Amino acid sequence: MRCFIGIDLGSTTTKAVVMDEHRNVLGRGITNSRSNYDTAASIAKQEALVNGRFYLFRQALGSTGALNGQLDTFLGQLERDFRSEQYLEQLRDLEATCQRNVATAKFGDSAGAVGEALTEVFRRLAVEAPTLFAPGAKRKSDFFRDIAGAQYLATGETVAKDAGIRYDFLLNVFDRSIIEVENRIYGDSIRRHLLAALERTFVELPDTAGRRAEVEAPIKGILDMAMEETYVVGTGYGRARLPFSKEHVRSEILCHGLGAHVMYPNTATVLDIGGQDTKAIQVDPHGIVESFQMNDRCAAGCGRYLGYIADEMNMGLHELGPLAMKSTKTIRINSTCTVFAGAELRDRLALGDKREDIMAGLHRAIILRAMSILARSGGIRDEFTFTGGVAKNEAAVKALKQLVQENYGELTLNINPDSIYTGALGGATFAWRAVVEEGKVAEARAA
């Protein structure tokens, strides 16, 4: 089938959206941007295509009724088994890479012991793997680096102590190996992993095994069907790194404007707060950008600001919003300079202000900066769509709602749960338009 793909290479994460020729979104994929945009783009695209296959599995199995009543359970299990297969393969790769790197490391007499410790660490990691992908298991991140890293650090410390070797040797090997491993693309093994996962799912859900033939046929049919990359459009800061010509590259301003329009066709104003920039965009009724403003010279008031605050507070990024929501008192933080904010934070804590109140003040400070950029772009018009990573933060949304109400009155605020994919969605829509409306064909891909 023909697929239209948008890839958004952001400073923090890389996102991809796959669309069919009827403009249905088939799949979405996300990965950490690493320092390697080429890999990030390939992996995000691959993830989106896998996600697309799951969408098609659901459609096919849903229409045959083969799993009547058990479709969600089955596909949920299949996806976890698939992730688990992928994880185990990467883990084996990581182990082999670590062992290779021990051989070239300067660990002196300890090299042998470090190698043995590694074997033990990875044995334990493999044993723990299934619990990571058990139903209802919470993972802090879906990226291999984060999952494997957390496991490795915890297990490694114990193993190092027991074996009487230096823990920092294990850390050193991990740091050198993880970059190699996360920059490898396992595109060839997806089909194999899906088939292996299918077998495991039949084992996990024995009552579905009886309907094996009816379940397996549509899944294999979809696996055999090529998802042709008919046209790809790239956007985001890393777009120049995409291995295709200018025709296939669009500014993220245009992609965000169009993506927001596709999600909410009545969108007039878009606010996007991403990792390192804040964009205010005005779009016309067709999703075409009319004007835009961005933060300039300084990334204060962007997602990274929250990341910095989280580090200062020794908290996870996703814990900030919920903490700020507990605030009962308004504290005005006047500086949106990231570095000053750290100083102000400590000053406020020293004065005895509560963490949640300070957090609420910091969220408001970010939004105040966004309000100024919005004003510069021509103000907020109805409907107003908020996108980007910060749109997931409830405290930021609360501050925004309040300030919009105070300054512009009552209007519709749209926040899509998939708003992180807005730019990629716009890119996929541009890809679709290029082929279906403008009759373009993709050029031969440069290596």
Closer to other proteins by Cβ: residue 288 or 339? 288
The answer to whether the CB of 15 falls within 8 A of the CB of 423 is: yes
* Span near other proteins by CB under 8 A; candidates 103-111, 117-125, 188-196, 249-257: 249-257
Distances in Å between the alpha carbon of 161 and those of 97, 125, 158, 281? 23, 17, 5, 55
* Span near other proteins by CB under 8 A; candidates 285-293, 304-312, 341-349, 399-407: 285-293
**Selection from 295, 292, 219, 227 nearest residue 260 by Cα:** 292
In eight-state DSSP terms, residue 442 is P
385 in helix, strand or coil? strand
Binding of residue 297 to other proteins (CB under 8 A): yes
Binding of residue 431 to other proteins (CB under 8 A): no
Q: Which of 251, 335, 372, 416 binds other proteins (CB under 8 A)?
A: 251
A 10 A CB-CB count for 174 gives 22
Q: Which of 109, 296, 406, 410 binds other proteins (CB under 8 A)?
A: 296
236, amino acid identity: G
HEC per residue, 147-159: HHHHHHHHHHHHH
CB of 176 to other proteins, least distance (A): 30
Sign of CA dihedral 362, 364, 369, 373: positive
Q: Which of 162, 199, 290, 319 binds other proteins (CB under 8 A)?
A: 290
Q: Which of 58, 376, 401, 440 binds other proteins (CB under 8 A)?
A: 376
CB of 293 to other proteins, least distance (A): 7
Binding of residue 284 to other proteins (CB under 8 A): yes
Q: Which of 143, 167, 237, 340 binds other proteins (CB under 8 A)?
A: 237
CB of 379 to other proteins, least distance (A): 10
Dist CA 218 CA 375 (whole Å): 52
Closer to other proteins by Cβ: residue 53 or 256? 256
CB of 355 to other proteins, least distance (A): 34
Closer to other proteins by Cβ: residue 202 or 292? 292
Binding of residue 378 to other proteins (CB under 8 A): yes
Instruction: State which H helix or E strand residue 92 sits in.
Output: helix 71-104
Dist CA 386 CA 368 (whole Å): 14
CB of 286 to other proteins, least distance (A): 6
Q: Which of 28, 45, 53, 250 binds other proteins (CB under 8 A)?
A: 250
A 10 A CB-CB count for 418 gives 15
Dist CA 388 CA 395 (whole Å): 14
Q: Which of 31, 84, 230, 293 binds other proteins (CB under 8 A)?
A: 293
Binding of residue 339 to other proteins (CB under 8 A): no
Closer to other proteins by Cβ: residue 342 or 378? 378
CA atoms within 13 A on the CB side of 25: 20
Residues 390-429 that bind other proteins (CB under 8 A): none
A 10 A CB-CB count for 339 gives 11
Instruction: State which H helix or E strand residue 170 sits in.
Output: helix 167-182
Dist CA 226 CA 235 (whole Å): 25
Q: Which of 289, 324, 362, 428 binds other proteins (CB under 8 A)?
A: 289
Binding of residue 358 to other proteins (CB under 8 A): no
Closer to other proteins by Cβ: residue 162 or 290? 290
CB of 277 to other proteins, least distance (A): 8
**Selection from 204, 58, 80 nearest residue 134 by Cα:** 80
Binding residues vs other proteins (CB under 8 A): 237, 250-254, 284, 286, 288-294, 296-297, 376, 378
